[in-house]
Every structure is written in C-alpha cells, then in structure tokens.
Copies of this chain bind each other. A is one copy, B any other.
Amino acid sequence: MATGRTHRPATRSRGIPEATVARLPLYLRALTALSERSVPTVSSEELAAAAGVNSAKLRKDFSYLGSYGTRGVGYDVEYLVYQISRELGLTQDWPVVIVGIGNLGAALANYGGFASRGFRVAALIDADPAMAGKPVAGIPVQHTDDLEKIIDDNGVSIGVIATPAGAAQQVCDRLVAAGVTSILNFAPTVLSVPDGVDVRKVDLSIELQILAFHEQRKAGEEAQADGAGPAAVTREESDASADQGPDGDVPAVMPA
C-alpha cells in the first residue's frame, strides 16, 4: 500500500529556493521595524544583523527576487517591504480557519499577528456542541458539522489544526476535501495529504526534545572537558549550536 513512486524534486519553488522563502518573513519583519523608524535605506550588513543571518546569504536571497539594491548605498526599505510582501503573497487577503478551540486554539485566535500580515481569521470551528456560538476573541465558535460550508462560503484555502492528535487526520481530510490546500498543523501527528497540499507542522514536544538533546550533550562535554581553557564568550546571533569540531576544544558554557 505504499504511496506510488511520486517523483518530485522535493524542493523547487520556481526559482526561489525553499530556504530563501523561509527567511523572507524574517527580513520582512526587520524591514518593517526599520520602516516604522522611518529609516530610508539599509545595507545588507545592517539588515543581516537585524535578521540574524549572514550578509552574503541575505544578498543572495534578495538576488532571487531581482536587483533591488543600489551599490554603494544599500536597499530602499519601503521598496523592499513592498517587493517581499508581494512575493510572499501578503498583499492579498488570506481568510484562515482555526479548527479545535481548546487552550491553544483560543490562544491562536487571540494572536494579534494575523491581521497585520494579511491573514484574517474567518472562522473558529470546534467539535464540542457546548462551544457553539460562544465567542472567542470576538468570533463565535461554529460546529464542525458546518466545516465544509464555512470553507466554501469564505473561500478559505489555509487551515490551522489545533485539535487533539486523534482528531487531526480526520479534520485534515475534511479540510482538504472542502478545498483547503495549505495546512498549519499543531497536532502531534504526521498528517497524510494528497499531492498539491502543503503541510507545515509546529510541535512543541519535538522542539523541547531537540533542546534536551543538546542540553544533555553540553552537560556531558562540560563534565569531560573540565579544566580546558574556555574561549571568550562572544555575542553572536541567535541559535548558536555552539560546538566546535570533534577534536576542537569545547567552548565555555556559561558564567557561574
């Protein structure tokens, strides 16, 4: 019953690498902040620092969008904000439905970052009849029975699943059947979807486990390399996997 030989390049976004796409929102956020401070232009070096990436990487990322910079000067902030927004499709309205209004679903509904980026919570859906009609974040919760109609009436193409793991696949199937082609999944389950549907998942448990792994490793190295000369603790960008080569010395862990 294996899935057929689904041949696909895995990653190929018609010119723009997936890794670049994933960073565009980061640049956009930094640029928006600059825009609010009325900064007219910014160099790749400055913007890269604000976004926490390498400047060469940033320039290469922008090169996929076109040549929007001016040599010797930098990038026009407003123009870049517009170009990235357009590229990401944020210049249009994206109605979104959230399915599963528990603690998490409610938190998502209350999230303010939606509207600011063109995302609009079109509806909240829950399987609990007792929730029906009850307003969450000013939006009345609707029952799962009406899922298909809600999707259709609002022209929703992006769905957020915040249900328990057991219900996720079923909800996913209904969303897809109703026309949703992009899903953000918060349930700790691997979703099975047909080709043409994008799924991104966010899983707290997994994130913590990854941190635990590194934490354990750090603890082990520290105990082993007790006495080695710690290197100077330099201020770096975010996410420092912070480890040296195998035979390299172990970096200092932290101040006591």
Interface residues of A (CB under 8 A from B): 1-3, 5-14, 18-19, 21-22, 24-26, 28-30, 49-53, 87-90, 92, 94, 96, 100, 102-104, 106-108, 110-111, 113-114, 117-119, 157-158, 161-166, 169, 176-177, 179, 181-218, 221, 231, 233-256
Contact = CB atoms under 8 A, between A and B. Distances in A.
Contact of A234 (B177, B195, B249, B251): B195
Nearest to A118: B212
A165 B198 contact: no
A52 B203 CA distance: 15
Given A3-B202, A90-B209, A195 B106 contact: no
A8 B236 contact: yes
A252 B204 contact: yes
A200 B1 contact: yes
A119 B12 CA distance: 38
A216 to B, nearest CB: 3
A198 B242 contact: yes
A46 to B, nearest CB: 11
Nearest to A21: B213
